[in-house]
Amino acid sequence: MSINFIPNDPTAGSTAPALRVQAKHANRPSTRADFTLSHTSTEGVAAPGTARFLFWQCREAALSAVDAWEAVAGNLTRWQGNRRRLALRQDAGVDLNAYYDRTSFSFFHQAVSGTTYYSGASTDVVAHEVGHGLLDSIRPDLWDAAFLETGAFHESFGDCMAVLTALNDSDTRKKLLAVTATLKKANFVEATAENLSQAIRRLVPNHNAAEPRHAFNTFQFQIPETLPANGGPGALINEVHSFGMIFSGCFYDLIARIFAGQSSKTQATLLTSARTAATLLVAGARTALVAPRFFQSVGRAMTLADEERNAGKNRDAIRTAFQQHNIMLGSNALLAPTALLDGGPPSLGRTPALKPSTRRDLARRLRAAPGDRLSVRPAHLCGGRFACVFHNRRISLTPVHRRLRGVSAVTALPVLIGESGGSPAVMGEMPEPTTTEREVHAFVDSLVQNGQIDLDGSTPTSPSNRAIPRVTHRIRTVGGQRTLQRVRFHGCG
């Protein structure tokens, strides 16, 4: 007995593999995680739009997604929460959507302009939802992580799983290479959920989801809240599904780059390329630290995974794929926006200036004390103009040594300010006050231990220092405050 199956999406177009008759997937081994099926139908070739077709189509798509996962991540033995089975509901009612809620994967139907759309009939949509479940099985902490980028990564991961499920199918790979030998052209694999988007387009033509999401894109990273909350079909907006396209773009470009490096460009090497990229994606997803800039965090974790597994063979491909979407993974991360600041666009010309509200926000984040000075200087780095803000912070040295009671050190901490989406943003790392204080205390302690501070203005502290004067720092009164200052460097240890 056989079934009817649509390997991609009912509206993927004439270049995609058409509805085909094939043998059904075997049931999963009892030792592995599985689905609980409902409203089952007898096996057989059934027409789209029938309950029988939908049951077998949804089952086949879900099992195909798990196959694609297991090919790179190993056997799936448990879902999140040690669950062995999750419900697969091919038609849970009326909606133009699909959901994963840790107990089930639910798909829906809705009639629009005389056509009934079934989200469970799209392998793209089913693979996307199963992708949420797969990621949740290895990173349950991402479920409720409170940053837009972690939510967007979850959505992107679902889209990446749809791409990988498609590329795990040999017929799909052959059809794709007939469309584009380099993958660098819009196609039915990189486009996700065309059928649902068509329904939405008919219902709400200007809805953002009226255009399918695309992994082949040129979207550039900017801090998400600088984007509008709404936008026309396919526009990049401050919304998790839309913003996830930036990461999907990085992943798709990585597949294309790895494929470009293959000596022969065949459907077999396309599969190898996709699996190499997928292995790195899963490894990166497993270990990336949760942070507001989570895309960058995953990209860096993928780079480390590549070092470990492939001796860094794909390092350049990963770096370039992310850089094409303005996500910096290497030393150029110094110039990547990490945190948005209050206020309007900064002036980044020859005499850079920050708006008062930007200064206030920055001072608050730096935990600047009243009276602390923030000086602004121009900075030109890698062809870009920035404002380098120096926070002159006074740090008490009383905890370091009893003879330093009432003495403080002043340190100038630089913060690079640029813009993201027209708003002021911290670029790269922001000095962390506690770390700064500890570093200063450790340094001054080493000066004390080595007799490099003239503590009372006369006597070296140890016999060796009497023999070889080593004083580099003295205590002076600056602005009415006893302040440790360097007076010289010396040439011998």
Rule CB under 8 A: which residues touch another protein?
A: 95-102, 119, 125, 128-129, 132, 143-144, 146-148, 151, 154-155, 158, 193, 196, 200, 209, 224-225, 229-230, 238-241, 289, 291-293, 296-297, 300, 333, 338-340, 361, 364-365, 367, 429-430, 432
DSSP at 279: H
Beta carbon of residue 288, minimum distance to another protein (angstroms, whole number): 10
Least separation in angstroms between residue 42's CB and another protein is 28
Q: Minimal distance in Å, beta carbon 99 to another protein?
A: 5
Compare residues 59 and 473 and give the one whose CB is closer to another protein.
Answer: 59
Name the one residue in this structure whose structure tokens are 């099985």.
Answer: 137
Asked if residues 301 and 283 have their Cβ atoms less than 8 Å apart, the reply is: yes
**Which is closer to another protein, CB of 125 or CB of 475?**
125
CB of 228 to another protein, least distance (A): 9
CA distance 490 to 470: 7
If the CB atoms of residues 46 and 135 are measured against another protein, the closer one turns out to be 135
Residues forming beta bridges with residue 79, ordered by sequence position: 83
Residue 22, H or E segment: strand 20-22
Q: How far is CA 96 from CA 99, 125, 201, 223, in A?
A: 10, 11, 11, 29
In this complex, which beta carbon is closest to another protein, that of residue 95 or of residue 372?
95
H or E segment to which residue 190 belongs = none
Exposed e or buried b for every residue in 425-438, given b needs 16+ CB within 10 A? bbbbeebebeebbe
Closer Cβ to another protein, 184 or 364, answer by number: 364
**CB environment 370-386: b (16+ within 10 A), e (fewer):** eeeebebeebeeeeebb
Q: Decide whether 158 or 418 has the Cβ nearer to another protein.
A: 158
Measured from the CB of residue 103, what is the shortest distance to another protein in angstroms? Answer: 9
Distance CA 442, CA 400 (A): 8
Smallest distance, another protein to C-beta of residue 322, A: 12
